[in-house]
A and B are shown apart, each in its own frame.
Chain A
Amino acid sequence: MHELSIVMSIVDIAEAQVKKNHARQVDAIELEIGELAGVEPDAFDFAWPSAVKGTVLDHAQKEIRHVPGRALCHECDGEFVLHEAFDSCPACGSFVYNILQGKELRVKSLVLS
Chain B
Amino acid sequence: MCATCGCDHSENGINITRVSAEVFQPMASRAGYLLQANSHAHSVLQKVVQAEQDILARNNQLAQHNRIHFDAAGVFVINLVSSPGSGKTALLERTLRDLQTALPFAVIEGDLQTTNDANRIAATGAPVVQINTGKGCHLDADMVHRAWHELNPPERSILFIENVGNLVCPAMFDLGEHARVAIISVTEGTDKPLKYPDMFASSQLCIINKIDLLTYTDFDVQRARAYCRQINPMIEFIELSVTKGFGMDEWYAWLKKQPRHSVTRDKLSLCTN
Contacts and interface: CB of A to CB of B under 8 A. Distances in A.
Nearest to B50: A109
Interface size class of B (residues with CB under 8 A): 35 or more
B233 A96 contact: yes
A50 B3 contact: no
Contacts of B55: 6, 9-10, 13, 31, 105-107
A88 B201 CA distance: 14
Contact of A113 (B44, B53, B56, B201): B44
B172 A109 contact: no
B51 A51 contact: no
A15 B50 CA distance: 15
A27 B169 CA distance: 30
A105 to B, nearest CB: 5
A46 interface: no
A8 B11 CA distance: 13
Interface residues of B: mostly helix, strand, loop or mixed?
mixed
Nearest to B200: A86
B145 interface: no
Contacts of B52: 106-109
A86 B140 contact: no
Contacts, number: 107
B20 to A, nearest CB: 30
Contacts of A28: 27-28
Interface string B56-80: 1011000000000000000000000
A111 B48 contact: yes
Contacts of A53: 1, 6
B49 A86 contact: no
Contact of A95 (B27, B44, B48, B233): B233
A8 B28 contact: no
Interface string A46-69: 000011011100000101000000
B171 A38 contact: yes
A12 B57 CA distance: 11
A113 B8 CA distance: 23
B45 A51 contact: no
Interface in A78-92: 85-86, 88
Shortest 3 CB-CB distances between A and B: which pairs? A2-B169, A30-B27, A86-B197
Interface of B: 1, 3, 6, 8, 27-28, 34, 44-56, 58-59, 136-138, 140, 168-169, 171-173, 194, 197-198, 201, 230-231, 233
Interface of A: 1-2, 4-6, 8-13, 17, 21, 23, 27-31, 38, 50-51, 53-55, 61, 63, 85-86, 88, 95-96, 105-113
23 contacts: A2-B137, A5-B3, A5-B138, A12-B58, A17-B49, A21-B47, A21-B49, A27-B46, A86-B197, A95-B230, A95-B231, A107-B53, A107-B55, A108-B27, A108-B52, A109-B28, A109-B48, A111-B46, A111-B47, A111-B49, A112-B46, A113-B45, A113-B46
